[in-house]
């Protein structure tokens, strides 16, 4: 697509379960006029409130990126937002009948496939850009992340992750052309360490998890009894730890799939700035808190 804004040609839906809420729901993408941007409409609410997909409406980043307005929220929007950005779609209205986006396989793949099936249509309005003119850095030693952006002719992202654990070594991922997003980034699934999964399970925080939507890294020795308990929890006949240190629930799409998924999240969260970015992002140990805080810092620099 060229330098004009784009929408989709027809409405299309994606169904599924929310990872954290366990709610079964449907989201429907509708074409929207030029200049509309991306907005979510809660069709299950009496007044059908509309929440713009904007950094100004981010209300929580603890287990995904949540936007809200007047007490109404939409959870875990990052994979949807990344899909729209990766396909060059600027304007769409998304109807939602539950609190949370479907997790599907933990990647952006199903959203990308649906949007491509709907078709992409160029509109009669020029696309606006956020052009980075100076280096902007956000570093947090306590949380262990660093985000940086420098001027560039188009949007580029480089990610490095390092969790100081043998089971998941230092990994790198890059996206230097958005045209590569569909093939190289969209299929990459979220991941979790076993100790995080156990905490979430104990606190009833992954009601929609079924081991098909996350790569589980096992960073300690597990007894057969513990493995059997996990199998029971997730309705699997048997669970074991593979040589790569992950549960045998899936095969990796790429050796560096975790880093690529973190890059996916960066793309989705930074898209909440509402305009395409001309800049080169370098992210060390990014996460939803880091990504959205960085987006707010970029917004402040642009406004000033």
| Known catalytic residue at 30 | no
Angle of helix 78-87 relative to helix 257-270, nearest 10 degrees, comes to: 80
Phi/psi-derived region of residue 282, left when phi > 0, alpha when psi is between -120 and 50, beta in every other case: beta
> What are the residues whose beta carbons fall under 8 Å from the beta carbon of 54, sequence distance 6 or more?
37, 67, 272, 274
**What is the rounded distance in angstroms from the CA atom of residue 19 to the CA atom of residue 207?**
6
How is residue 197 annotated by DSSP? H
> What are the residues whose beta carbons fall under 8 Å from the beta carbon of 228, sequence distance 6 or more?
239
Which residues does residue 50 pair with via DSSP β-bridges, in sequence order? Answer: 41
Q: Is 153 exposed, middle or buried (0-12, 13-18, 19+ CB in 10 A)?
A: exposed
Q: Residue 247's CB: how many other CB atoms inside 10 A?
A: 24
Catalytic one of 79, 261, 280, 288: 288
Q: What is the DSSP string of 203-258?
A: TT--TT--SSS-EEE--S---HHHHHHHHHHTT-S---B-TTSBBTT---SSTTHH
Q: Cα angle at 244 between 238 and 246, to 5 degrees?
A: 45
How is residue 75 annotated by DSSP? B
Q: Which residues are catalytic?
A: 288
């Amino acid at each position: 697509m060229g330098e004009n804004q784009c929408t989709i040609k027809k409405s299309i839906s994606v169904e599924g379960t929310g990872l954290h809420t366990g709610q079964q729901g449907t989201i429907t993408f509708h074409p929207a006029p030029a200049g509309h941007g991306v907005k979510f409409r809660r069709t299950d609410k009496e007044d059908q409130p509309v929440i713009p997909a904007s950094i100004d409406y981010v209300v929580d980043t603890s287990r995904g990126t949540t936007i809200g307005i007047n007490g109404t929220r939409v959870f875990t929007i990052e994979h949807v937002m990344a899909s729209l950005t990766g396909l060059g779609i600027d304007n769409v209205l998304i109807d939602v009948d539950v609190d949370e986006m479907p997790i599907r396989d933990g990647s952006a793949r199903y959203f990308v496939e649906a949007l491509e099936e709907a078709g992409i249509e160029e509109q009669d309005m020029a696309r606006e850009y956020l052009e980075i003119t100076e280096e902007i850095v956000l570093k947090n030693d306590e949380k262990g992340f660093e985000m940086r952006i420098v001027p560039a002719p188009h949007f580029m992202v480089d990610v490095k992750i390092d969790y100081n654990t043998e089971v998941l070594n230092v990994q790198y991922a890059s996206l230097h052309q958005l045209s590569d997003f569909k093939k190289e980034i969209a299929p990459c699934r979220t991941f979790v360490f076993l100790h995080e999964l156990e905490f979430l399970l104990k606190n009833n925080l992954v009601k929609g998890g079924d081991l098909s939507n996350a790569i589980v890294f096992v960073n300690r020795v597990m007894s057969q009894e513990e493995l059997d308990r996990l199998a029971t929890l997730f309705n699997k006949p048997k669970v074991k730890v593979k040589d790569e240190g992950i549960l045998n629930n899936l095969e990796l799409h790429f050796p560096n799939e975790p880093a690529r998924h973190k890059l996916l999240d960066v793309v989705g969260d930074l898209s909440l700035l509402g305009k395409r970015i001309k800049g080169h992002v370098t992210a060390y140990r990014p996460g939803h808190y880091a990504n959205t805080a960085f987006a707010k810092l970029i917004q402040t620099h642009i406004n000033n």
